[in-house]
Amino acid sequence: MRGQGDKLSDIAISNGRITAIGGGIAGSAVDTVNAEGNLVTESFVNTHLHLCKVWSLEKMDELAMGAYHGEGMGKAMSAIELARHVKRDLTLDGMIENARKAAALAALHGNLHIRALADVDSIAGVEGVKALIAVRDEFRGIVDIQVVAFPQDGIAKDPGTDALMRQAMELGADVVGGIPWIEFSDRDAAAHISFCFDLAQQFDKDI
């Protein structure tokens, strides 16, 4: 802590908030953790993780990888289109297993809050949402996972995605995601934005 030098301090926490910092804090505690002089900091937050596709790198071909890693992400749309095929090989059980491993690693390294994107489209359907909801519920109290229903391939561009997005929210997704720049026209991008706001309002969810 600034101005404290090398002095070790106790930290009292009540209802998730720090209530006192200092040496020899009076009172009793339900739980006591000895940090052994190590740094105490808030947990890390990952605000953008495609948790439904972790450990799928080996399924990517060189063309898609090249587009992803191009300068300034100038070929991002091409990269997304080239990588769509990966989703055809993903299964519900496989996504749950991989997401579970990732969540456990996150907890191990102090990443206790994850906003996790689940692709919702004509290939993925809502299987990614189902998988991440299962892992979210399993890790409740360990890692705070918010499941984002994410129309990766667009809404106007990928017919039927609007209905799938509604289904994803009905299943229990926490956040409405959007990617309006993926659409083919400004008009479709504007409609994409309007749809996402309307859906979020309907289900009283964040965007």
Range of the domain at 16: 1-41
What is the model's pLDDT at position 72? 61
Could you tell me the end-to-end alpha-carbon distance of the chain, in angstroms, rounded to an integer? Answer: 35
**Tally of domains in the chain:** 2
Asked if residue 79 lies in contact with residue 145, where contact means CB atoms within 8 angstroms, the answer is no
CA 81, 85, 88, 89 torsion-angle sign: negative
Same domain (yes/no): 89, 189: yes
Asked if residue 67 lies in contact with residue 82, where contact means CB atoms within 8 angstroms, the answer is yes
Same domain (yes/no): 118, 184: yes
CATH for 181: 3.20.20.140
Same domain (yes/no): 158, 180: yes
Same domain (yes/no): 137, 196: yes
Structure tokens at 27: 């009172």
Same domain (yes/no): 78, 35: no
What is the model's pLDDT at position 79? 65
What is the model's pLDDT at position 68? 64
Weakly modelled stretches of the chain, pLDDT under 70: 1-4, 63-79, 82
Same domain (yes/no): 179, 102: yes
Same domain (yes/no): 119, 192: yes
Same domain (yes/no): 32, 117: no
The span from the CA of 49 to the CA of 130, in Å, is 16
Which residues, 6+ apart, have CB-to-CB distance to 158 below 8 Å?
121, 122, 151
Same domain (yes/no): 145, 80: yes
Same domain (yes/no): 108, 59: yes
Same domain (yes/no): 71, 35: no
HSE at residue 181, side-chain half, CA atoms within 13 A, is 6
Closest alpha carbon to 150 in 132, 170, 129: 129
Closest alpha carbon to 145 in 45, 16, 15: 45
Determine the 3-state secondary structure of 123 from DSSP: coil
Same domain (yes/no): 8, 26: yes
**Beta-bridge mates of residue 150:** 119
Asked if residue 144 lies in contact with residue 112, where contact means CB atoms within 8 angstroms, the answer is yes
The predicted model scores a pTM of: 0.83
